[in-house]
Structure 1
Amino acid sequence: MTPYLHTKAAARAPGSRDIFALAWPMTLKAIFLHGTVVIDGLLVSPLGEEALAAMGLAAALAGLVIGVLFAFSNATQIRTAQAFGTGDPIFLKSVIASSLTVTVTLGLVGVVLISLIAPGVIDQLAVNEAVAAQAQTYLTIFMVVIIAESIGQSIASFFNGCSQTKLPLYGYVLSVPVNVVVSVGLIHGLWGLPEMGVAGAATGSAIAISLQSAFWVLLLVRKHGSLRRVAGWHKGAFSPTLRRHITFSLPIAATFISATMAAHLCSLIYAKMALNGFAAITLIAPWNMLVGQIAMQWAQATGILVAQLLGQGASEDVLDTFLSRAWRGAFIAAAIVACVFLAMCLSIDWIYADLEPETRAILFGFLPILLLIQFPRATNAICGNTLRAAGDTVYVMHIFIWSQWAFRVPATAFFILYLDLSAFWVLSLFFWEEVVKFTPFHRRLWRGEWKHSQVAA
């Protein structure tokens, strides 16, 4: 049986090595995840603009459901860490059972809604019938991915919460090459496979993600199969246990869903910018997403360990010692991210040699913002993940939602639609958003109430 039991006396302050051991597999997994989107686009691009448009339209619709699944899975990661810290196998069993119930239900509901709504939406948005037909075919196949992810992401988050962050990474190491090879073969009809075009990309993703999720299911049975024999539920019965899991998860999920919606709305507003500025903002976004994972995953690993320490009943001294170490590491991670952006900006003429000089100049002009933003972003992330780990999820949700919808979104519209400011000032809003969040985050953390959280409640 997996040793879950801990004692309060065993609680100690983890060091930077402990955080790094959790963070580096999570960082690579996140890079694999976001890189897959780029790879799919590259594989489909030889088919032409219609194929890309079809895939983009279908992916936008499916991405809404996938985003919700990932949001709830993130909550599972924190709840699992709390349960793992307590050493209570009943709590752990309750978390994984509740999480799978929630995400599989959401996945099935998402598939049903897509089946009912997507055809009409695609017909309205597609530029022609050919694009609409390809998008509908892609989306129909991609529903397999939604169901597979509804199972797989809960399990991956459960592993992360149990400090087994390498296991989800192994799944991506397995699935990404399969996705690429199978998709190439099915898109172009290679190696005796049927030539399916855009549908081939969806089929490759469906096969790869199904394989990945099946692999994680096998690992779950192997590593934590003993939980099936544990009697009872954390709240006495499954129904109240499930309700408690949903109550805990909703604010976290709402935070991530809100961020996604705000980003999409801002992207629509960006389209009103001058062409070169819009291109520069569009190009910097994937860099921000990929490179920023270094600091973000360090903060998530910190949150996992804080949740485990709180579950163990660690003393204030232990929590303070650990958080000071985590904070120093966060500043180092932020400095690394800043250095990557410095190297990127200094290499713009080589990386984007085909762009117009004005667009390259705008990208280089982003450098001061890209250097400065990393440090408040990293320390805010430490605060947010620590407070979430202590169960203070509603407060964190309010900080994110208000900073997005009361500040960044309206300010973006004002800067672009009324003041017609340059891309530099539009991008600077991300920095000022971190400044807006800084005081409420740090004031809440310094009050110290989170150190006495009863995470098993």
Structure 2
Amino acid sequence: MNLTQYTKEFKYNIRLAYPVILGMLGHTLIGIVDNIMVGKLGATELAAVSLGNSMIFIALSLGIGFSTAITPIVGEADAEKNTQKIRAAFHNGLLLCIILGFMLFGLIVLGKPLMELLHQPKEVIALAKPYLDWVGFSLVPLIIYQGYKQFADGLSMTKYSMYAIVMANVVHVIINYCLIYGVWFFPKMGILGAALGTVISRIAMLVFMHVILSRQAQLKTYFHNFSLDEIRKETLSKIVNLGVPSALQMLFEVVLFTAGIWLCGNIGKTSQAANQIALSLASMTFMFAMGLNVVSMIRVSNHKGLQDYKKLVVVARSIFLLTIIVEILFAILFVIFHQIVPPLFLDMDNPMQLVDNQEVVVIAANLLLIAAIFQISDGIQVVVIGALRGLQDVKVPMYITFFAYWIVGFPISYYLGIYTDLKAVGVWIGLLAGLTAAALFLYLRFHYLTQIMIKN
């Protein structure tokens, strides 16, 4: 194997990836800002936001997963220089994102009674319900924004979504501050202020994205004469056939991690707190792999459009290799700092909580050692999924991920977490097993498909 043919692709991969990574971190920051600002109101308010956002996160995974169907169609058409195909994918995809945004909002509103079934405290549910109405509505502009983002990503124009996220974060912080605490002439609205801040910032993000893209000279042809006359059943069907399996694949993973949170909660509060610390750190490093997932989707779809399958394999493997290098660097950092970082999340000077906090630190430190290995598997599986989406192969990967996460991963998490002394560490060993199985089988699927394409 000649490593140079892969490493020479790194520069272009990084150039495409870094705006996506910053954008992903920006999305994460919106949630962190809510938690920090609401946390100052009290534990009940923070619990209400956490409960509401757990439901939003599941709906969001479906919306984002579905919208990724637009990128490979646009990427392939861009390589073919087929303007009409790009326009059709954009207009039809945007219509589907509008419909899906309202459907997910409806599901959130209808799903509110589930909070009682989760046996949450009544005072938490009372605060969470109105919060959920507003943040649920914010899914509408966010999923429509995803239609614009995936269109731009397909054209390798990844910077504009980064600009939109930066702007949204600035708007979000200012509005949150004014409406949560009642600064100046604004009413003091508590967690409803945080919800409104999310809605307004996401509407601003959508408007910004539309304006900035529609003003690009090379994109004028795609924004001229928006009309329902361009909606075609065959294009809608193609996007739905790619989008639904992609949405389900993302849902399988998100629900697995949600189940991990639930299992740790069943074990005890120290396990749940340790899980939250390790998961928040692993989620931050995962954003780098998610950025490379988008690059994988863009570049593979481009070379599919050019029908240059040998180059396609080289490009894909260069992204896989870059991901492995990045995740190994993070793994080393996790190992070095696994005992130093967890205390930073806790008030170690509080004598009332000292025993609990010391237990949390020990559990979290052990989880970070597993996270060091698990993020390598997680990184590989997510970039290979991106490559398979670029090939427009989504149904078999959907079955693979279901098998890996729910037939391999979850039973191991459940057994080791509940029935052995490993507890939270056992839950994470199950997550590691599921992600490793997914990485292996998805790569074998990619290798199998590309070998057939090269031979034919």
Q: Quick one: structure 1 residues 446 and 110, their matched pair in 2 at CA, closer, same or farther if it must change by over 3 Å? A: closer
Q: Quick one: structure 1 residues 115 and 276, their matched pair in 2 at CA, closer, same or farther if it must change by over 3 Å? A: closer
Q: Quick one: structure 1 residues 170 and 450, their matched pair in 2 at CA, closer, same or farther if it must change by over 3 Å? A: farther
5+ residue gaps, structure 2: 1-5, 349-356
1:208 equivalent to 2:201? Answer yes
Deviation for aligned residue 1:37: 1.0
- Asked whether the equivalents of residues 182 and 204 of structure 1 are also in contact (C-alpha less than 8 Å), the reply is yes
- Asked whether the equivalents of residues 71 and 252 of structure 1 are also in contact (C-alpha less than 8 Å), the reply is yes
**Equivalent position SS for 2:308:** coil
Deviation for aligned residue 1:372: 2.7
Aligned to 2:351: none
Instruction: Please point out which of 182, 191, 195 is paired with 2:188.
Output: 195
Aligned to 2:388: 387
Percent identity between the two aligned chains: 20
CA distance in 2, matches of 1:66, 1:52: 20
CA distance in 1, matches of 2:85, 2:67: 17
CA distance in 1, matches of 2:238, 2:290: 27
**Equivalent position SS for 1:271:** helix
**Equivalent position SS for 1:396:** helix
Deviation for aligned residue 1:291: 1.3
Normalising by structure 2, we get a TM-score of 0.87
Deviation for aligned residue 1:281: 1.8
Instruction: Please point out which of 291, 298, 305 is paired with 2:299.
Output: 305
Aligned to 2:129: 136
- Asked whether the equivalents of residues 296 and 390 of structure 2 are also in contact (C-alpha less than 8 Å), the reply is no
Alpha-carbon RMSD = 2.8
Matches within 5 A, 1:240-251: 240-251=234-245
Aligned to 1:261: 255
Aligned to 1:325: 318
Aligned to 2:95: 101
- Asked whether the equivalents of residues 324 and 379 of structure 2 are also in contact (C-alpha less than 8 Å), the reply is yes
1:416 equivalent to 2:410? Answer no
One-letter code of the match for 1:186? L
Aligned to 1:75: 69
One-letter code of the match for 1:238? R
Aligned to 2:222: 227
User: Deviations 1:26-58 (Å, cap 9, x if unpaired)?
Assistant: 111111111211210111112212322332333
CA distance in 1, matches of 2:451, 2:83: 24
User: Deviations 1:184-209 (Å, cap 9, x if unpaired)?
Assistant: 11111102211111111111111111
- Asked whether the equivalents of residues 93 and 230 of structure 1 are also in contact (C-alpha less than 8 Å), the reply is no
5+ residue gaps, structure 1: 1-11
Aligned to 1:6: none
Instruction: Please point out which of 317, 320, 334 is paired with 2:327.
Output: 334
- Asked whether the equivalents of residues 352 and 360 of structure 1 are also in contact (C-alpha less than 8 Å), the reply is no
Deviation for aligned residue 1:315: 4.2
Deviation for aligned residue 1:155: 0.7
Aligned to 2:352: none
Deviation for aligned residue 1:424: 2.6
- Asked whether the equivalents of residues 319 and 451 of structure 1 are also in contact (C-alpha less than 8 Å), the reply is no
Q: Quick one: structure 1 residues 143 and 349, their matched pair in 2 at CA, closer, same or farther if it must change by over 3 Å? A: closer
Aligned to 1:287: 281
1:51 equivalent to 2:48? Answer no
Deviation for aligned residue 1:321: 3.0
CA distance in 1, matches of 2:240, 2:313: 30
Matches within 5 A, 1:303-452: 303-316=297-310, 318-348=311-341, 351-352=344-345, 354=347, 356-449=357-450, 452=453
Q: Quick one: structure 1 residues 295 and 65, their matched pair in 2 at CA, closer, same or farther if it must change by over 3 Å? A: closer
- Asked whether the equivalents of residues 36 and 176 of structure 1 are also in contact (C-alpha less than 8 Å), the reply is yes
One-letter code of the match for 2:272? F
Q: Quick one: structure 1 residues 350 and 262, their matched pair in 2 at CA, closer, same or farther if it must change by over 3 Å? A: closer
**Equivalent position SS for 1:47:** coil
**Equivalent position SS for 1:193:** coil
CA distance in 1, matches of 2:346, 2:180: 29
User: Deviations 1:331-370 (Å, cap 9, x if unpaired)?
Assistant: 2212222233235315236524635333222222335423
- Asked whether the equivalents of residues 278 and 368 of structure 2 are also in contact (C-alpha less than 8 Å), the reply is no
Aligned to 1:8: none
CA distance in 2, matches of 1:411, 1:437: 15
CA distance in 1, matches of 2:413, 2:340: 28
CA distance in 1, matches of 2:383, 2:291: 10
Aligned to 1:92: 86
Aligned to 1:4: none
1:33 equivalent to 2:27? Answer yes
1:42 equivalent to 2:36? Answer yes
Aligned to 2:3: none
CA distance in 1, matches of 2:134, 2:227: 39
CA distance in 2, matches of 1:311, 1:263: 35
Aligned to 2:15: 21
Deviation for aligned residue 1:232: 11
Aligned to 2:105: 111
One-letter code of the match for 2:59? V
Question: Which one is further off, 266-275 or 409-418?
Answer: 266-275
Aligned to 1:161: 154
Deviation for aligned residue 1:183: 0.7
One-letter code of the match for 1:32? G
- Asked whether the equivalents of residues 13 and 319 of structure 1 are also in contact (C-alpha less than 8 Å), the reply is no
Instruction: Please point out which of 171, 174, 178 is paired with 2:167.
Output: 174
One-letter code of the match for 1:339? I
CA distance in 2, matches of 1:191, 1:376: 49
CA distance in 2, matches of 1:393, 1:281: 31
Q: Quick one: structure 1 residues 220 and 65, their matched pair in 2 at CA, closer, same or farther if it must change by over 3 Å? A: same
Deviation for aligned residue 1:274: 4.2
One-letter code of the match for 2:181? H
Deviation for aligned residue 1:104: 1.1
Question: Which one is further off, 17-26 or 237-246?
Answer: 237-246
Question: Which one is further off, 156-165 or 337-346?
Answer: 337-346
**Equivalent position SS for 1:194:** coil
